[in-house]
Amino acid sequence: MTALKFDFANCFSAAIGEKGLDEKNLAALREEIVAAVRHCNDTRGEGMTGWYELPYETEQVEKILNSAAAKKGKFDDVVVLGIGGSALGTIALRTALVHPFHNMLPNDKRGGLPRLHVLDNIDPDQLAAFFADVIDFSRTLFIVISKSGSTAETMSQFLLAVELIENKLGKDKIKDHLIAITDKAKGVLRPIADDWGLESYVIDDGVGGRFSVLSPVGLLPAALCGMDIEALLAGAAEMDEICKTEDFMKNPAALFAAIHFLADRDKNARLSVMMPYASGLKDVADWYCQLWAESLGKAVHDDGTPAFVGSTPVKALGATDQHSQVQMYTEGPFDKVTVFVGVEKFEKTLTIPSRFGTVDALAYLNGRTFNELMDAERVGTELALCEAHRMNMTITLPEVNANTVGQLFFMLEVATAIAGKLYKIDAFNQPGVEGGKIAAYAQMGRKGYEAKAKEIAARPAKNAKFLL
Amino acid sequence: MTALKFDFANCFSAAIGEKGLDEKNLAALREEIVAAVRHCNDTRGEGMTGWYELPYETEQVEKILNSAAAKKGKFDDVVVLGIGGSALGTIALRTALVHPFHNMLPNDKRGGLPRLHVLDNIDPDQLAAFFADVIDFSRTLFIVISKSGSTAETMSQFLLAVELIENKLGKDKIKDHLIAITDKAKGVLRPIADDWGLESYVIDDGVGGRFSVLSPVGLLPAALCGMDIEALLAGAAEMDEICKTEDFMKNPAALFAAIHFLADRDKNARLSVMMPYASGLKDVADWYCQLWAESLGKAVHDDGTPAFVGSTPVKALGATDQHSQVQMYTEGPFDKVTVFVGVEKFEKTLTIPSRFGTVDALAYLNGRTFNELMDAERVGTELALCEAHRMNMTITLPEVNANTVGQLFFMLEVATAIAGKLYKIDAFNQPGVEGGKIAAYAQMGRKGYEAKAKEIAARPAKNAKFLL
C-alpha cells in the first residue's frame, strides 16, 4: 500500500500570517498531546474503544466473506435499515468504492452485484415509494442494524419490512431475506434474530455507532456489493501503526487533533470544513461530520465542569462547492479550518476535447484533462485560502480505493479520540441525543414516559407575536 | 394556496433563557429592519435584484412549457451541465417534486418523464462512468447553463458532451440534443448557441446564479420532468406579497434576517443550521447553503471598511441527523440558530405494522404511523434544543409541493437580501470566488495569467516538518 500524505503547513502563521496558529503554541502543547496519544494507546480496546481492534477481527471477516460468496447472484437489491452510525459508513463506502452510478445501472451492467440502498430516514413518502416502486422482494436482502434494537426509526422500518416480506413471500421466507446486526446478547433485536433463526452479526460492546464502519455494520453491505473489505481493513491496520507513535510531529492523527484544538482555543475557529476533491469521497465527509460532531460536542468535561465545547464539522465538495461555499470561506469570519482531501490519481484519465481554439475563455482547456483541471482547482482554492489568511490542511490519497479509504477512516477515528482527550471530554458518549428521544417517546405514548408527556402538554403557549 | 407558517418564538429569551435573544434588541433594530425592507422594495428589479421579477415573467414560462410539451416522450434523460447556482436549484426541485427514486425507476415506471441528471463536478471517474454507462445519447437532452460561458467546469463538460454527441449521432444532431441557457448577448456561449441554431434561454442581467432557480435555469429542467412550474412561480409571487410588508413583525423574511443578524451580533452565534424534517426538502437546505453563504460571507462593508462577516449555513436532515449532528447542537458551543422545516401533511400516510405487542421498546409503535413518528421526532428535537437553551425556529409547509417550495425559495431569497442590508454588505457579488479561479487558470496555462503562474511557481517551499 501507499500511505496517505498529510500537509499541515498552511495552518501556521509562517504560511498564512497572524491568522494562522503560532508554532510555539503547538510546541507548548507537547505534553498534553503526548499524554493523549499515550492514553489512547494504553487503553485501546477498553471501554468504548473496541473499534481500535476492528482491523484485526479476522474471524468476523471470514464469516462475512463466506456469506457474501454464498449469496452471490441471488439478490438484485441489498437494503440497509439503519440510521446514523448504522448508515453513514455504508453510504460513504458505496459512494467511494463502487461504480459512481451503481444504483442507477440495470442489473446486467452491475456484474452480478446488487444495488445498495440505505434507508436512513422515516419519511413516509420516501419509504412508501421505495417499497412500492424500487425493489422486487423476491430478489431483495434486508439488513437491519441496531445495537439496542430500540432505535425508533430503524425498528419502525424493520416492522414494515417484515410485514411486507411476510405478505409478499410468506412467513417462512423471512429468514432468507433478512439479516440482523446487533448486540451479542442485550437488547430487543438479538432474541428476535435468534428465535427466527436469522443470519446475524455482532456489534461488539466497545464499538459505538459512529465508530462501527469497520465492523459488520459497514463490512457486510460492502462485501455483498463486491467491495474489497480485506483491503479496507489492511489500510486501517497500516494507519493504526502510524497513529500510535508518541512522536506527535510524525503522527497525523495527533496533529489533526491538536491543530483543530488550537484553532478553537487560540483563534476562536470552531468549524472544521472537510472538502474532498473527488466525488467518490463526498460521503466520507458526511461520515466525518457525525464522527467529529457527536464525539466532540459535549456539555461537560471529564471532571464534571461545564464544557459546551466542540468544533462543528461542515461538509463541502470540490470543485462543486467553490461555486457555493468558498466565497464564505475566503471572505467570511476567520472561524474555520478547511481540510482538503485530494487524490493523486483517478482511475480514468479523461481528456477535454479541443474546440474553439480561438476563443480565449476556452482555448486553454483544449486537450488538457479533467484530471488536470480538478487538480488546478484544488490547488487554486488552497492558494486562495492562504492569500486570504485562512487555515487549511490537505490530506492526499494516492488514489481512491478500499485500502486508502480504510486509512482515512482510521486516521480520523484516532484523531477524534485524541481530540477528545485534548478537550478533556468523553468522546464516546452522546447524552445530548437523549432529550429529543425522550420527548419523542412521550409524544408517541411509550410506557414510562407519561410524566414527560404531561410536561410537554403543559408547556406555556408560545408568544403569539412571533407566530406568523 | 396555503401559506407557510413561521414560528420564531424559540429564538428569544422568554422561551429559552438568557442564551436567547433579548426582544428589546429586536425592537431597537426596528429602524434598520424597516429601512432594509424599504430599500429592497424600492430598488427591486434594479441592479442584481432582477430575480425579484422572475415570478412574473410569463413570456419565458410559456416558451418553456411549449418546449417541454414538444419534447414529451422524446427523451429518457435530461442532463444539466452546470455548477453552483446553475445546479443547486434544479437538484432541490428534483428532490422535492418528483418521485423520491425517480432516477432509479425504469423508463416504463416514470410516466414518460425523463430522468434528470445534474453534472455539477469535473471528477473524471464520475464523468467517464456517466457518459459510458448511464445514458443513451440518442434519447438524451443536454442543457448547458453558464451566464458567461466561461465557467471552466461547465464549459469542459460542454466540450466533452458536444464531442460525444457528434461522434455518436453526427454533427447535424447536436442542435436536437443540446439547449443553452446563458446571457442574452454577452459571453462565450451566446454566439455558439446562435451560430449552431440551438434552442436557448436567457438569464437576465439582474439574476445571479444563486438567485436563478425561478429563471429558465431551474424552470426548464423542472418542466421537462413534469414539475408544475406555474404553481412554483405562483407560490413565489404569493410570498413576494407577504415579504414586502414594512410592518416587519408580520414579515417572515425580515424576521428571519433580523434574528440571524442579532444572533451573530449579540450572541456570537454565526451558524445557521437548516434542518428539514422531510427527505424531499433535503436539497432545499443545500440550495440555501449557497444562497446564504455566498451572499453574506463578505470581506468589506458597503462603505469599504473591513467586514469579514456572515453566518455560515449548515445543512442537516431530520430525523436522520438526530443520530449524527444533534449531540453537537444540544451540547456544543452556543453558536447556532437552527431552522427546522416541518411538513404538516405528507402525500402518503404509512402505518407501522403491529407486532411484538409485549416488547416494551416496540409496543408503542404498534399501529402508529411513520407520519406521527416524524412529527414526534421534530417536536422532540425542538423541545430538546429549547431545554438546552439553543435558539431555533420552525418553518412549516402545509405539504411539499411546487407552490410551497416556491414560497420557501422566495422567502429565503428576500431574507438574504434583507440580511445583506443589515450586515451593510453587498449580498449580490462574489469577489472571493475569483482568487481560486485565477490560480486555477494560471496553472492551466490560460493566456493573460502568466504573472500569476510565475508567482505560484516561485512560492517558498512549505515547512517540511508539517509534511507527513
DSSP A190-227: HHHHHHHT-EEEE--TT--GGG-TTSHHHHHHHHHTT-
Which of B3, B15, B27 shows the shortest CA–CA distance to B258?
B27
pLDDT at A2 over 90: no
Chain A CB contacts of B444 under 8 Å are 364-365, 368, 372-373, 376
In whole angstroms, give the CA distance from residue B336 to residue B334: 6
Which domains does chain A show, CATH number per domain? Answer: 5-42+232-423 (3.40.50.10490), 50-227 (3.40.50.10490)
Q: What is the mean pLDDT of residues B289-313?
A: 98
In whole angstroms, give the CA distance from residue A164 to residue A141: 13
Which of A246, A400, A294, A276 shows the shortest CA–CA distance to A338?
A276
Q: What is the mean pLDDT of residues B376-399?
A: 97
Q: How many CB atoms lie within 10 A of CB B304?
A: 7
In whole angstroms, give the CA distance from residue B251 to residue B234: 18
Instruction: Tell me which amino acid residue A427 is.
Output: A
SS3 B167: helix
pLDDT tens digits, one per residue of A181-209: 999 999 999 999 999 999 999 999 999 99
pLDDT at A406 over 70: yes
Mutate to test the interface with B, among A90, A98, A102, A125 (most CBs of B within 10 A): A125
Q: Enter the DSSP assignment of A22.
A: P
In whole angstroms, give the CA distance from residue B428 to residue A386: 24
Q: Which three cell numbers stand for residue B340?
A: 427546522
SS3 B383: helix
Taking CB atoms and an 8 Å limit, are B332 and A314 in contact across chains?
A: no
Q: How many CB atoms lie within 10 A of CB B166?
A: 17
Nearest CB neighbour to B365, from listed A155, A280, A360: A155
Nearest CB neighbour to B326, from listed A271, A333, A432: A432
Backbone phi and psi for residue A148, each to the nearest 5 degrees, phi listed first: -90, -20
In whole angstroms, give the CA distance from residue A419 to residue A255: 10
Taking CB atoms and an 8 Å limit, are A364 and B328 in contact across chains?
A: no
Taking CB atoms and an 8 Å limit, are B279 and A433 in contact across chains?
A: no
**Which is the catalytic residue, given B323, B348, B462, B465?**
B323
Taking CB atoms and an 8 Å limit, are A332 and B362 in contact across chains?
A: no
Backbone phi and psi for residue A127, each to the nearest 5 degrees, phi listed first: -65, -45
Nearest CB neighbour to A446, from listed B298, B326, B364: B364
Peptide bond into A319 cis (omega under 30): yes
pLDDT at B16 over 90: yes
Say if residues B349 and A124 touch (Cβ distance below 8 Å): yes
Q: CB-based contact (8 Å) between A160 and chain B?
A: yes
What pLDDT does residue B201 have?
Answer: 98
CA dihedral B164, B170, B173, B174 (to 10 degrees): 40
pLDDT at A1 over 70: no
Helix, strand, coil share of chain A (percent; to 5) = 55, 15, 30
Burial of B358 (0-12, 13-18, 19+ CB in 10 A): exposed
Among the residue ranges B273-277, B383-387, B434-438, the one predicted with the least confidence is B434-438
Q: CB-based contact (8 Å) between A27 and chain B?
A: no
Chain A CB contacts of B330 under 8 Å are 297, 299, 432-433, 435-436
pLDDT at A353 over 70: yes
Buried b (16+ CB within 10 A) or exposed e, A49-80: bbbbebbebeebbebbeebbeebeeebbbbbb
Return the axis-axis angle of helices A229-243 and A216-224, rounded to nearest 10°: 140
**Which is the catalytic residue, given B301, B424, B437, B452?**
B437
Instruction: Tell me which amino acid residue A235 is.
Output: G
Compute the C-alpha angle A89/A90/A91, nearest 5°.
90
pLDDT band at A377 (very low <50, low <70, confident <90, very high): very high
Q: What is the mean pLDDT of residues B343-348?
A: 97
pLDDT tens digits, one per residue of B249-268: 999 999 999 999 999 999 99
Q: What is the mean pLDDT of residues A41-69?
A: 97
Nearest CB neighbour to A133, from listed B105, B334, B349: B105
Q: CB-based contact (8 Å) between B250 and chain A?
A: yes
In whole angstroms, give the CA distance from residue B425 to residue B197: 41
Average pLDDT, chain B: 97
Q: How far is A197 from chain B (nearest CA, A)?
A: 17
Average pLDDT, chain A: 97
Q: What is the mean pLDDT of residues A100-124?
A: 96
pLDDT band at A360 (very low <50, low <70, confident <90, very high): confident
Return the axis-axis angle of helices A30-42 and A402-423, rounded to nearest 10°: 120
H/E stretch holding A392 reads strand A392-397
Q: Which three cell numbers stand for residue B22?
A: 433579548
pLDDT tens digits, one per residue of A260-277: 999 999 999 999 999 999
Q: What is the mean pLDDT of residues B316-332?
A: 97
Q: CB-based contact (8 Å) between A335 and chain B?
A: yes
Put simply, whether the predicted model's pTM sits higher than 0.90 gets the answer yes
pLDDT at B27 over 90: yes
Q: Within the 356-415 window of chain B, which residues sit less than 8 Å (CB to CB) from chain A?
A: 356, 359-365, 368-377, 379-381, 383-384, 387-388, 400
Residues with Cβ within 8 Å of residue A36, at least 6 apart in sequence: A254, A257, A418, A421, A422
pLDDT band at A358 (very low <50, low <70, confident <90, very high): confident
- Number of CB pairs, chain A paired with chain B, less than 8 A apart: 503
Instruction: Tell me which amino acid residue B163 is.
Output: E
Beta bridge partners of A351: A369
Q: CB-based contact (8 Å) between A257 and chain B?
A: no
Cα distances (angstroms) measured from residue A278 to each of A285, B160, B305: 11, 19, 37
HSE at residue A316, side-chain half, CA atoms within 13 A, is 35
Chain B CB contacts of A290 under 8 Å are 323-325
Cα distances (angstroms) measured from residue B256 to each of A148, A369, B118, B212, B326: 40, 44, 30, 21, 22
What pLDDT does residue B2 have?
Answer: 80
Minimum CA–CA partner of B159 in chain A: A353
Backbone phi and psi for residue B335, each to the nearest 5 degrees, phi listed first: -120, 20
pLDDT band at B1 (very low <50, low <70, confident <90, very high): low
End-to-end, the C-alpha distance of chain B in Å comes to: 59
Helices first, then strands: H and E counts in chain B: 19, 12
B1 vs B238 pLDDT, higher one: B238
pLDDT at A388 over 90: yes
ipTM of the complex: 0.97
Taking CB atoms and an 8 Å limit, are A123 and B346 in contact across chains?
A: yes
Backbone phi and psi for residue B201, each to the nearest 5 degrees, phi listed first: -130, 160
Active-site amino acid positions of A: 294, 323, 437
Q: CB-based contact (8 Å) between A67 and chain B?
A: no
Q: How far is A400 from chain B (nearest CA, A)?
A: 10
pLDDT tens digits, one per residue of B140-196: 999 999 999 999 999 999 999 999 999 999 999 999 999 999 999 999 999 999 999
Task: Give the strand order in the sheet containing B199-202.
Answer: B115-119, B77-81, B140-145, B178-182, B199-202
Chain A CB contacts of B430 under 8 Å are 327
B323 catalytic, yes or no? Answer: yes
B437 catalytic, yes or no? Answer: yes
Mutate to test the interface with A, among B81, B116, B122, B407 (most CBs of A within 10 A): B122
Gyration radius (Cα) of chain B, Å:
24
SS3 B214: coil
In whole angstroms, give the CA distance from residue A308 to residue B446: 49
Taking CB atoms and an 8 Å limit, are B350 and A160 in contact across chains?
A: yes
Nearest CB neighbour to B444, from listed A156, A310, A376: A376
pLDDT tens digits, one per residue of B52-71: 999 999 999 999 999 999 99
Q: How far is B420 from chain A (nearest CA, A)?
A: 13
In whole angstroms, give the CA distance from residue B282 to residue A125: 13
Q: How far is B104 from chain A (nearest CA, A)?
A: 5
Chain A CB contacts of B463 under 8 Å are 9, 12, 14-15
Q: Within the 98-127 window of chain A, which residues sit less than 8 Å (CB to CB) from chain B?
A: 99-101, 103-106, 109, 115, 120-127
Which of B237, B256, B254 shows the shortest CA–CA distance to B246?
B254
Chain A CB contacts of B99 under 8 Å are 129, 133
Which of B385, B373, B375, B296 shows the shortest CA–CA distance to B339?
B385
Q: How far is A55 from chain B (nearest CA, A)?
A: 23
pLDDT band at B440 (very low <50, low <70, confident <90, very high): very high
Mapped to the 3 state alphabet, what secondary structure does B92-132 carry?
Answer: HHHHHHCCCCHHHCCHHHCCCCCEEEEECCCCHHHHHHHHH
Taking CB atoms and an 8 Å limit, are B320 and A383 in contact across chains?
A: no
In whole angstroms, give the CA distance from residue B330 to residue A139: 42
Q: How far is A450 from chain B (nearest CA, A)?
A: 12
Task: Give the strand order in the sheet containing A336-343.
Answer: A5-7, A392-397, A336-343, A271-276, A312-315
What pLDDT does residue A354 have?
Answer: 94
Tally of residues, chain B: 468
SS3 A138: helix
Taking CB atoms and an 8 Å limit, are B133 and A12 in contact across chains?
A: no
Q: How far is CA A114 from the centre of its chain?
A: 22
Say if residues A138 and B334 touch (Cβ distance below 8 Å): no
Q: How far is A215 from chain B (nearest CA, A)?
A: 18
Q: CB-based contact (8 Å) between B456 and chain A?
A: yes
Beta bridge partners of B315: B274
Taking CB atoms and an 8 Å limit, are A369 and B124 in contact across chains?
A: yes
